[in-house]
Amino acid sequence: MDASRRSNSRRNRLSRRSALAATATAAAALAALLVSVGCSVEVQNRQPAQQLARDSAPPGSVYTGWRIYQGHCASCHGTDAGGSASAPDLMARVSGMGPRQFVDVVLLRYRWIVAGEGDTSTARETLVEEIVARHAGAVTMPAWRDEPNVNAHVIDLYAYLAARADGSQGPGRPPR
């Protein structure tokens, strides 16, 4: 009985070896055919593209920014940052801002625009026209500099609003 088991085991090993040899031969023949026909197989390295996407994204966490926005901004600017009767559409405003300008606006309440009495810049004039048109008399956006949660996560807030402005984040809760 041991002899028949050994014989069966030997046959199984030989059939496995011949199957592997046939597979290797077929693969080599396919590779030779592709080379002779002039076809090539390219493997894309997606890592540089993914790194470029990460580098071009604004700094900060979109999810954390969404949480800050919902807690401090949504009541005036709307849950999707599209504006309301009392506050402007933030997507339109943020699309033309960089992170530094955004931080100044949020933490210092428009002081970057109305910097001095003799300032006749276009941005200052635009702000004055908006105030006059609304008959508001003053900007109602609070300075968030003394709010520790907003102050600590202002760049996350920028990341969320910049993602909404460029269309990479739709309305609603972003993924973590």
pLDDT single digits (tens) 89-107: 888 888 888 888 888 888 8
pLDDT single digits (tens) 150-166: 888 889 999 999 999 98
How many CB atoms neighbour CB 35 within 10 A? 11
Residue 31 has pLDDT above 80, yes or no: no
For tokens 């890592």, name the residue.
47
Which of 103, 100, 104, 72 is CA-nearest to residue 87? 72
Which stretches of the chain are assigned E, i.e. beta strand? none
d(CA 87, CA 167): 21
For tokens 């309305």, name the residue.
171
d(CA 126, CA 120): 10
The separation between CA 14 and the C-alpha centre of its own chain, rounded to angstroms, equals 56
Amino acid symbol at 113: I
pTM score, whole prediction: 0.55
